[in-house]
Amino acid sequence: MATKAVGIDIGGTGIKGAIVDVDSGELLTDRLKKSTPEGGEPDAIVAVVKQIIDELGDEADDLHVGVCFPAAIMDGKTLSAANVSKKWIGFEAEKLFEKTLGKPIHFVNDADAAGYAEARYGAAKGVSGLVIMTTLGTGIGTALLNDGVLIVNAELGHLEIEGKDYETKASFAAKERDDLSWKHWAKRLQKYYSRLEALLYPRLIIVGGGVSKQYQEFLPLLDLRAEIVPAKLRNNAGILGAAALASESKPAF
C-alpha cells in the first residue's frame, strides 16, 4: 500500500486538494483550493482538478489520486448530481478524469470519503459496530461504516419524514433559509436522527460539515440512544478519505 497519495475534494462551491501521508492522516502540502466553475460541468471541473494536481508539483506525478464527488457512484459512473451540472447524471466520470490526468484514479462519493477518513483517523477510529457519518450543509450527506468497513452510496439524507425529503428541512441550508434558532433547528435534527436510530441502531453518529465547528450550540440539545459527536477532521476529511482509499486501490501506473 502506498504511503502517500493525492486527495481531491470536489464540492458545489470549491475544489480542494493536497498530498497526504496516508499512514498518519496528515497533509504534506498546503491545501490548495479553487472555486468550482460556474455551472459545474464535467470538462470544466476536471480541468480545475488537473490544475490543482499540476500545482502540487512533480511529486504528485507518481502518486495515487483519489477524487471525491457529490454524487452516488457506481463503476466509475456518477448516478446523481448535487450542486453541480445535471450533465453528471449517468456520466462516465472516472473515465474522463483518467483520460485528462493520464493515470488511474479512485473515484468515491464525498460523504463516503469523509466517513472513511473519520474511521481511519478521526472520531470513529477504533469504534466497532455501526457508525453513521452525517454531513450537514447544503443537504445531508451520509456514510455507513461497519467495523471500519465502508458501505458505499448510502443516501440517508433523503429519508422521508412527514411527507418530506427531510434534508430539505434539517440541513444547515434549511436552518439558514428558514432563519431558525439553534433550538428550533435542533428539533428538526431530533426527528431526523431519531429516524436513523429507529432504522439502523448505530453505535456512534458523527456530525460533519462546516456547522460542526459550532456543535456545542446544537448537539447537547439532542436526546439520542447512540453517542453523537462532532467530526474531528472538518474541512480536510474529504481529501484525507479520498487519498486513503486511493492508496489502497489500483497502482498509479
pLDDT tier, 1 (very low <50, low <70, confident <90, very high otherwise): low
Query: Which string of b and e fits 217-240 if b means at least 16 CB within 10 Å?
Result: ebbeebeeebebbbbbbebbbbbb
**What is the percentage of the chain residues whose pLDDT exceeds 90?**
91
Q: Give how many domains the chain has, as a whole number.
A: 2
* Predicted local confidence at residue 253, as pLDDT: 41
My answer on whether 196 and 138 are in the same domain is yes
The per-residue pLDDT for range 53-112, each reduced to its tens digit, is 999 999 999 999 999 999 999 999 999 987 889 999 999 999 999 999 999 999 999 999
Query: Which string of b and e fits 73-83 if b means at least 16 CB within 10 Å?
Result: beebbbbbbbe
Q: Are 27 and 66 in contact (CB under 8 A)?
A: no
Q: Are 152 and 108 in contact (CB under 8 A)?
A: yes
My answer on whether 22 and 91 are in the same domain is yes
pTM above 0.75, yes or no: yes
Cβ atoms within 10 Å of 188's Cβ, excluding its own: 18
Q: Which domain holds residue 159?
A: 123-231
* Predicted local confidence at residue 252, as pLDDT: 45
pLDDT over 80 at 30, yes or no: yes
Mean pLDDT of 4-8: 97
Q: Are 134 and 205 in contact (CB under 8 A)?
A: yes
My answer on whether 192 and 140 are in the same domain is yes
Find where cell 448537539 sits. Answer: 219
For residues 22 and 13, which has the higher predicted lDDT (pLDDT)? Answer: 22
Residue 189 domain flag? yes
pLDDT over 70 at 250, yes or no: no
Q: Are 188 and 170 in contact (CB under 8 A)?
A: yes
Distance CA 250, CA 121 (A): 22
The per-residue pLDDT of the chain, averaged, comes to 94
Q: Are 100 and 244 in contact (CB under 8 A)?
A: no
Q: Which amino acid is at 238?
A: G
* Predicted local confidence at residue 12, as pLDDT: 84
* Grid cell of 217 as nine digits: 450550540
Q: Could you say which of 67, 83, 108 is where a domain stops?
A: 108
* Grid cell of 79 as nine digits: 448516478
The per-residue pLDDT for range 155-176, each reduced to its tens digit, is 999 999 999 999 999 999 999 9
- For the domain that residue 18 is a member of, what is the CATH number? 3.30.420.40
